[in-house]
Amino acid sequence: MREMNTSPVRYRAFIGGQFVDAEKGEVFESEDPFSGEKWALVPRCRAADADRAVEAAHKAFTGGPWPALTASARGQLLCRLADLILENAQALADIEVRDNGKLMAEMAVQVRYASQWFRYFGGLADKIEGSVIPIDKPDMLNFTRREPLGVIAAIVPWNSPLLLMSWKIAPALAAGNTVVVKPSEYTSASALEFARLVEKAGFPPGVFNVVTGFGAEVGEPLALHPKVAKIAFTGGDASGRRVYRAAASQLKPVVLELGGKSPNIVFDDCVMDDAVKGAVSGIFAASGQTCIAGSRLLVQDTIHTEYLDRLVRFAGTAKLGDPRLATTQVGPITTHPQHKKVLDYIAIGREEGAELVLGGKPAEVEGSKSGLFVQPSIFSGVNNAMRIAQEEIFGPVLSVIPFHDEEEAVAIANDTLYGLAAGVWTTSIRRAIAMSNALRAGTVWVNTYRAVSYMSPFGGFKMSGFGRENGQHAIDEYLQTKSVWINTALEVPNPFTLR
């Protein structure tokens, strides 16, 4: 929650239904990536705060109104929350744009769309069913119950804070769990504004909690907390490994949604204008700061020269500017470390011998004082073994790699540690099917890119993680199955044998 009369805006964490300061009273600043203004003060939570939040969530899970609610009532609360997100969509979008630098044009739609996760999983809440097993033993009733796990720690990155939080908490709450959210230290405000809506919807205290702060100071203690039943993590693979180790130390399950180096593959039978737009959407939308960025563009050698020429001309017209303006197409990089990382990778690409055919420099943008813009940048002549083809840059930097035929395209596309997504541009239905079968990625798009829905499973192959978000089965990540045996015989048989 924020105090409106002070400047910068002062936020508080949300624990046990109360907006509270960090136990030590510490705060840190959050920067507007366009203006450079330090616009918010956010609680710097630590282990003691993680502990308070988990205890509140555990209390709400084990007693009081939440576990006593019918599944239908739980679903209705989620639908009420969906309504409140829609009613407050503009305010939430304003905060996301200010804290993250993402385009208003995208956020106004994305925040409204996030409400659908609550409606969809709210609808699923009372369709969680066990089964009666026609068990192979006389005088015995055996049935299953599908039960929530307990306290879920939802650890979220900065690139789409509300949406990625929704992917976790909507199914977790629909299944009857309680949650502690740890947003990114760069974009904490929207989760705290969201907490007001959770409160208003009427969720019992402790069902939803938010602790803010840094990964090592509050994220890790949260992951290590013995009363956290499962961790749902989205972020980079280095933090993902630390979270996985923390979970392993207590034999706790995790869902890991990690990074990617996704191939976007252009065949010579594509509709070239569409494939040009598809490449731009894959890497320059959201300034390339998406896990699904199509950062490796594989182009068939027969059309390579013409296609690259058209791509460079089109990408060169992208309008950098104030993310609040409807005319802006590329906004700032969200954080200073990320800005440095993007420029470092551009230098690495040059050193590796790739040819920079567009951009390659920091960009000056009128009205911006943050210094966080980077020109949309394209390297051609990239070899798949280069670092700029293998490592996630998470910025507006595209590596263009030529290929000769389908077989070579598949070999290059799959030659990566990651496997989050892939794109294919072709008018051949045979090729579309063959490629989508052969690509080792959790999502394959044909003649489109960056499509996601609450209805369709999302997750990684290989080092992009495991577990799935979205779609009906995402709720299974937050349930466990209990088998119940009821003896209906008139007397208990021989106690010394297995029944």
Catalytic residues: 257, 291
Measured between alpha carbons, how far apart are the two ends of the chain, in Å? 57
85: tokens are: 């997100």
Q: Which is nearer to ligand NAD, 270 or 420 (by Cβ)? A: 420
- Binding-site size, ligand NAD (CB under 6 A): 31
- Put residue 368 in one of left, alpha, beta given phi > 0 → left and psi -120 to 50 → alpha: beta
Question: For residues 284-323, which are near ligand NAD according to CB under 6 A?
Answer: 291
**What is the spatial distance between Cα 231 and Cα 149, in angstroms, rounded to a whole number?**
11
E strands, 372-454, where? 377-380, 397-403, 421-425, 443-446
Please pick, from the candidates 33, 205, 206, 235, the single residue that binds ligand NAD as defined by CB under 6 A: 235
**What is the spatial distance between Cα 39 and Cα 488, in angstroms, rounded to a whole number?**
66
325: tokens are: 């303006």
Strand order in the sheet with 263-266: 355-358, 377-380, 397-403, 296-300, 263-266, 421-425, 443-446
Kindly state the helix (H) or strand (E) to which residue 245 belongs, with its residue range: helix 237-249
Residue 457 lies near ligand NAD (rule: CB under 6 A): no
Question: For residues 36-75, which are near ligand NAD according to CB under 6 A?
Answer: none
Q: Which is nearer to ligand NAD, 286 or 312 (by Cβ)? A: 286
Q: Which is nearer to ligand NAD, 97 or 275 (by Cβ)? A: 97
Residue 255 lies near ligand NAD (rule: CB under 6 A): no
Please pick, from the candidates 215, 323, 419, 467, the single residue that binds ligand NAD as defined by CB under 6 A: 215
Please pick, from the candidates 392, 449, 454, 474, the single residue that binds ligand NAD as defined by CB under 6 A: 392
The stretch near ligand NAD (CB under 6 A) out of 230-238, 314-322, 341-349, 353-361 is: 230-238
**339: three-class secondary structure by DSSP:** helix
Nearest-CA neighbor of 398 among 413, 388, 408?
388
Please pick, from the candidates 148, 150, 157, 402, the single residue that binds ligand NAD as defined by CB under 6 A: 157
Residue 155 lies near ligand NAD (rule: CB under 6 A): yes
The stretch near ligand NAD (CB under 6 A) out of 64-72, 232-240, 350-358, 366-374 is: 232-240
Residue 182 lies near ligand NAD (rule: CB under 6 A): yes
Cα 353 from chain centroid (whole Å)? 33
Q: Which is nearer to ligand NAD, 74 or 98 (by Cβ)? A: 98
**What is the spatial distance between Cα 105 and Cα 229, in angstroms, rounded to a whole number?**
38
Residue 193 lies near ligand NAD (rule: CB under 6 A): no
Residue 110 lies near ligand NAD (rule: CB under 6 A): no
Residue 394 lies near ligand NAD (rule: CB under 6 A): yes
Q: Which is nearer to ligand NAD, 473 or 499 (by Cβ)? A: 473
Kindly state the helix (H) or strand (E) to which residue 411 belongs, with its residue range: helix 406-414
Residue 216 lies near ligand NAD (rule: CB under 6 A): yes
**What is the spatial distance between Cα 101 and Cα 98, in angstroms, rounded to a whole number?**
6
Nearest-CA neighbor of 413 among 267, 215, 252?
267
Q: Which residues bind ligand NAD (CB under 6 A)?
A: 155-159, 164, 182, 184-185, 214-216, 219-220, 223, 234-236, 239, 242-243, 257-260, 291, 392, 394, 420, 460, 465
